[in-house]
A and B are shown apart, each in its own frame.
Chain A
Amino acid sequence: MATLAFLFYYVTPYIAAAVFLGGMAYRVYRWWQAKPVAGHLSLYPRPHRRWGPFMEVLIETATLKMVFNAIKISGSALPITAGLALHGALFLVLVQHLPVFFHLPAIGGTTVWVALGTVMGLAFGAFLLYALAHRLEGRRKQLSIPQDYLSLLLLIGIAVTGLHIHFLHTLDPQELPRFFLGLATFNWQPIPQSAGSSFIWHFALVQILMVYFNFSKFSHMVGYVLAKMVAYS
């Protein structure tokens, strides 16, 4: 049991991180290797910007042009805004995690910080459930394959365990930062105890996600900009 715990807390996190980063590099390399199309597949109207396709994509993302197009085309704003909100909530949840990793003083005071975690965590979970319901509805159900559900269930699992940790009263605010900082600096600290078994589950699912990430449609995190640039080059 002790060996297992040792592996889980002090070995597999490094493997997961390596697979995550290496997998990402592998993905980008694979795309780089694929042969380009002998043509340019632009979409219009396209203002010609000096900084090329990359800026084009950034500006299109910032102006939410694709969202407005989707609303105009589908006549319904809910799916696309929910999808966008899901990403926004996830981003803020990750930001909210930063003090856990880097021992930062919670910006804007602890109460505000905890409230951010509560609101965004719950929102993230709710939007994930919406996404699952949406996928089970009519045409998306026909379009979906097992890996689509697996991705969602994995995220839902992470959200549920994360929220559970968040609402635990036994949580020692110093313990987790100390542990993760120790992992990052190879100065290993004792296994955190105050978060209990939810932490084990949360940590395990995140490690699985990190390994799985680049070999699934999660790779759209990097692919988003790269694929979109094709339409503007």
Chain B
Amino acid sequence: MLEKFTEVMRQRVSRPLQYFMDICIRCGLCADACHFYAYSRDVAHIPAYRALLVKKLLQSKGNPLLDWYRENQHPDERTAEELRKALWDCTGCRRCTLVCPFHLDTGLLVSTARYALLQEGMGMEMVAEIGNAEVSKGEIIDALKEFYVEQIRELEGRVRQDWGVPDLQIPVDKVGARVLYVPVVGEHAIIPMAKIFHAAKEDWTLSLFTATNHSFFVGDTEKAKQAARWIVEEARRLGVQTIAFAECGHATRTLFQFWDHWFGDEVAGIQRMSVVQLIASYLQEGRIRVKSGMVDVPLTYHDPCNLGRNVGIFEEPRMLIRAVATDFRELTPNRELNWCCGGGGGLIAEPDMKETRMKGGRKKVEQIQRTGAKWVVTGCENCKTQLADLNEYYKLGVEVKGVWDLVAEALVL
């Protein structure tokens, strides 16, 4: 029982995790930061306990006194169940890391241990499968390309007609473009950006790949790197200056926090940003104009964990929202202290997790209700899906929108 988990985990303990296991004093401050603990009051949801559980399994056993002192557990069904709960019910939002006196990283622990759990056959199979598909997509991209371009042409025609702009273009695979835009799955990620790029007269091209990187959720760094490598290769082939990632939290995080280490010099000359930052720069430089005060509905902005706390994009989306809306209300707490929506860390892709997600989102629901906002704007695909689900489940009566939707609707041509 759990031998494979222990073995894989031992090999993958990195420096921050070693700190975690050695110096965590179990003060319990992290419990207050966790949205899962907030509803369940279950000890397995306390971030420090998640680490303790893993530590107990990794420690050597056999000496009765030491076993008592360390409260060692012999892996059984109960431990496995607890471990599964501790490692699955986490969105990796790192709110606990922020409040921890030592900034011990539960997100890293969970992601590393999830990989080990996957080897044990108790992992998030669905998320891992999607991750595998993202890796193999690069190998068969030539075969997919023709069909994809055809689809985009069809979409282009529709957008032209709906929007009444006959010269709007959605370039794909354009050599020498300035910006490579990497979307997420679905046309909702392409339509608003096509409009904004058109308005900004940007020389852009659409990526054949998607920004999402599900291997990252299950801690499989090798595959996560491979999935990202396709985008790097595409960017170098096309000779772009800038890579802009769609409103997608974890992808933006890999872009900012891992690409330098994964690709080094290969991406040294390429500017990397989230589209939220790109749109904000358009507005600041006067390349696009918006109808200011077009939206008078009370609205609020949800700071996605990965865009906020983990990458540092706080002000750009607020600037864009304020340019368009008159009644902007902040959530409390906001920015780096914001509650997680409860859908991150790959939970969205795992059908079994729906119930957990809905419970984990309770804090978010309370926050939104307190503002009285009718629209909830956010900059992360994962958050959008989760917020839409919460809206339905708790009958909030709000509308969930991306920052790009807001800007695209208010564009002045």
Q: Is A112 an interface residue (CB 8 A)?
A: no
Task: List, in ascending order, chain A residues with CB within 8 A of B101's CB.
Answer: 66, 70, 83, 224
Taking a contact as CB atoms under 8 Å apart, the answer to whether B260 and A217 are in contact is no
Taking a contact as CB atoms under 8 Å apart, the answer to whether B337 and A44 are in contact is no
Interface of A is mostly: helix
- Report, as a range, how many residues of chain A touch the other chain: 35 or more
Minimum CB distance partner of B17 in chain A? A34
* Contacting residue for A224 out of B18, B49, B97, B102, CB 8 A: B102
Given the known A-B contacts A44-B310, A228-B102, are A73 and B337 also in contact in the complex, defined by CB atoms under 8 Å?
yes
| Cα–Cα distance between A40 and B254 once the two chains are bound (Å) | 10
One digit per residue, 1 when the CB lies within 8 angstroms of any chain A CB and 0 when it does not, for chain B 208-222 equals: 000000000000010
CB proximity to B under 8 Å, residues A32-47? 34-46
Which residues of B pack against A, CB within 8 Å?
Answer: 13-20, 22-29, 31-33, 41, 43, 46, 48-49, 52, 68-71, 94-95, 97-105, 108, 221, 257-258, 260-262, 308-312, 314, 333, 335-337
Taking a contact as CB atoms under 8 Å apart, the answer to whether B98 and A38 are in contact is no
Taking a contact as CB atoms under 8 Å apart, the answer to whether A27 and B261 are in contact is no
* Contacting residue for A43 out of B17, B27, B261, B309, CB 8 A: B309
Given the known A-B contacts A37-B14, A231-B105, are A224 and B261 also in contact in the complex, defined by CB atoms under 8 Å?
no
Given the known A-B contacts A40-B260, A83-B27, are A227 and B314 also in contact in the complex, defined by CB atoms under 8 Å?
no
- Nearest Cβ distance between residue B153 and chain A, in whole angstroms? 38
List 12 additional A-B contacts (Cβ < 8 Å) besides A70-B101, A217-B23: A31-B18, A35-B15, A43-B97, A69-B337, A73-B337, A139-B31, A140-B26, A145-B69, A146-B71, A148-B26, A220-B23, A223-B23
Task: List, in ascending order, chain A residues with CB within 8 A of B25's CB.
Answer: 148, 217, 220
Taking a contact as CB atoms under 8 Å apart, the answer to whether A150 and B16 are in contact is no
Minimum CB distance partner of B49 in chain A? A143
Taking a contact as CB atoms under 8 Å apart, the answer to whether B23 and A69 are in contact is no
Given the known A-B contacts A73-B95, A73-B99, A224-B102, are A30 and B18 also in contact in the complex, defined by CB atoms under 8 Å?
yes
| Cα–Cα distance between A66 and B99 once the two chains are bound (Å) | 6
Taking a contact as CB atoms under 8 Å apart, the answer to whether B29 and A70 are in contact is yes
Which residues of A pack against B, CB within 8 Å?
Answer: 27, 30-31, 34-46, 66, 69-70, 72-75, 79-80, 83, 139-140, 142-148, 150, 217, 219-220, 223-224, 226-228, 230-232
* Contacting residue for B308 out of A44, A75, A217, A232, CB 8 A: A44
Task: List, in ascending order, chain B residues with CB within 8 A of A45's CB.
Answer: 312, 314, 335-336
Taking a contact as CB atoms under 8 Å apart, the answer to whether B48 and A143 are in contact is yes
Taking a contact as CB atoms under 8 Å apart, the answer to whether A40 and B29 are in contact is no
| Cα–Cα distance between A34 and B100 once the two chains are bound (Å) | 21
- Nearest Cβ distance between residue A188 and chain B, in whole angstroms? 35
**A–B pairs, 26, beta carbons within 8 Å:** A27-B22, A38-B221, A38-B258, A40-B260, A41-B105, A42-B312, A44-B310, A46-B312, A66-B99, A69-B99, A69-B337, A70-B29, A70-B32, A72-B333, A73-B33, A73-B95, A73-B333, A80-B29, A139-B43, A140-B27, A140-B28, A146-B68, A148-B26, A224-B23, A230-B19, A231-B97
- Nearest Cβ distance between residue A38 and chain B, in whole angstroms? 4
Task: List, in ascending order, chain B residues with CB within 8 A of A66's CB.
Answer: 99-101
Task: List, in ascending order, chain A residues with CB within 8 A of B261's CB.
Answer: 38-40
- Nearest Cβ distance between residue B25 and chain A, in whole angstroms? 5
Taking a contact as CB atoms under 8 Å apart, the answer to whether A143 and B94 are in contact is no
Taking a contact as CB atoms under 8 Å apart, the answer to whether A227 and B99 are in contact is no
| Cα–Cα distance between A98 and B226 once the two chains are bound (Å) | 58
